[in-house]
Structure 1
Amino acid sequence: MYQFSYAEVAQESSSTAREREREAFDNMIASLERAETAGPRSREAIEAIYVTRNLWSILVEDLASAENALPEELRASLISIGLWVMREAESIRLGRVESFQPMIEITQMIRDGLES
């Protein structure tokens, strides 16, 4: 039988969770890029807005939780970014904004930060 220390199991769980977060961001970025190519009134745009709002809603809720272990200042910054992304997605849906590019760039930066 294998025996693992709690620290090893906790580290593996943390790295697995981070990998899943990166994959979720990768999927969101791919969806946003398809929407950017297809245009703000396309089926791809509807899908990208849906995916983006859902993922950021989950992330913001988790970041606002008292159980979240990230430093409070970082959590607050990420919540602000998430709220901005959701507002930007809504602006595209309403026809006030035409480009997904700012959301793509911000999301890529957040995803890349998970790799550190």
Structure 2
Amino acid sequence: MYRFSYSEILEDAPQLARERERTAFDRALHLLRTVEARGERGPERTAAIGFVQDLWNVLLTDLLNPENALPDALKADLVSIGTWIMREAGEALGAPERSLAALIEVNTSIRDGLQ
């Protein structure tokens, strides 16, 4: 049977968290790219944008948590980006003809930064 120390588990936890974050961004980007490529304007588009909003709601909640150990400057930058994404997503929901390219580009940059 394997036994791990608490510190070993804590060392792995950030790596697992980043992997989960990358997976969530990959899913969001897949949904956005699919509806953008197909020119979707119905429920699929709403679901894709909603997924991005849900993702950023979770991220922003974590970033604003006082126990978040990221450097303050990085947290502030990510909160600013997240706020923009939420605003852009809301505008895209209200204007079905609006391109999702900016949302795709910014979320791709954030996902790539998790590598």
**TM-score when scaled to structure 1?**
0.90
Matched, 1:107 2:107: yes
Q: 28-37 or 6-15: which moved more?
A: 6-15
Tell me if the contact between 1:40 and 1:93 (Cα under 8 Å) persists in the aligned partners: no
Match of 1:64 in 2: 64
The verdict on how the C-alpha distance between 1:96 and 1:45 changes in structure 2, with shifts beyond 3 A counting, is closer
Cα distance in 1 for partners of 2:87, 2:93 equals 10
User: For 1:69, what is the secondary structure of its paired residue?
Assistant: coil
Task: Determine the C-alpha separation between the residues in 2 that align with 1:98 and 1:40.
Answer: 11
- Structure number with greater CO (CA < 8 Å, separation at least 6) is 2
The unaligned stretches of length 5 or more in structure 1 are none
Aligned position for 2:29 = 29
Alpha-carbon shift at residue 11 of structure 1 (Å)? 1.6
Is there any run of 5+ residues in structure 2 with no aligned partner, and where? none
Higher deviation after alignment, 6-15 or 80-89:
6-15
Give the stretch that moved more between structures: 68-77 or 29-38. 29-38
Q: What per-residue deviation string (whole Å, max 9, x for no partner) do you get for residues 11-62 of structure 1?
A: 2111111100100000000011012123252322111111011110110011
The one-letter amino acid of 2:28's match is M
Q: 1:46 to 1:96 in 2, by over 3 A?
A: closer
2:47 corresponding residue in structure 1: 47
1-side partners of 2:28 and 2:100: how far apart? Answer: 11
Once residues 96 and 50 of structure 1 are traced to their aligned partners in structure 2, the CA distance between those partners, rounded to angstroms, is 13
Percent of counterpart pairs with the same letter?
Answer: 44
Offset, 1:97: 6.2
Match of residue 38 from structure 1: 38
Per the normalisation by structure 2, the TM-score is 0.91
